[in-house]
Amino acid sequence: MAERRVTVQSEAGLHARPAALFVQAATKAPMDVAVGRPDADPVNAKSILSVIGLDVRHGEEIVIIAEGDGADSALDELAATVTASGA
C-alpha cells in the first residue's frame, strides 16, 4: 500500500471545484483510492460526497492511499491536484 501526506493549498480547501478535480483524478485510477485526515479513517476518494464530507480546509494535511499497479503514479497525480494553489 502506497500513501502520500500532502498539505492542501487551495484557499477553498478540499471543497467545491478542488474536490471535484481531486475526485475526477481519483476516478481515473484503476485501483481503489482513499483519502482522509491523518488521525481519522479514510474515505473513498472517488466519491465527491465523501471527499467534501471530510471538511478539509486550506493548510490542512491529508493522507491519500492507493494499492496496486500504478499506485505511485496515481498518488503523484492526486497530490498535485491538492498542492496546486490555483485549484
Domain boundaries, the chain: 2-83
Q: Can you spell out the DSSP letters for 26-44?
A: HHHSSS-EEEE-TTS--EE
Whether 87 has a pLDDT exceeding 70, the answer reads: no
Determine contact, residues 2/75, Cβ cutoff 8 Å: yes
Active site residues: 15
At residue 84 the predicted structure's pLDDT band, cuts being 50, 70 and 90, is confident
pLDDT of residue 9: 95
Query: Residue with C-alpha cell 471535484?
Result: 20
pLDDT tens column, 15-69? 999 999 999 999 999 999 999 999 999 999 999 999 999 999 999 999 999 999 9
**Topology given in CATH for the domain delimited by 2-83:** Histidine-containing Protein; Chain: A; (3.30.1340)
DSSP reduced 3-state for 18: helix
pLDDT of residue 85: 65
The verdict on pTM exceeding 0.75 is yes
CA 31, CA 19: separation in Å to the nearest integer?
Answer: 19
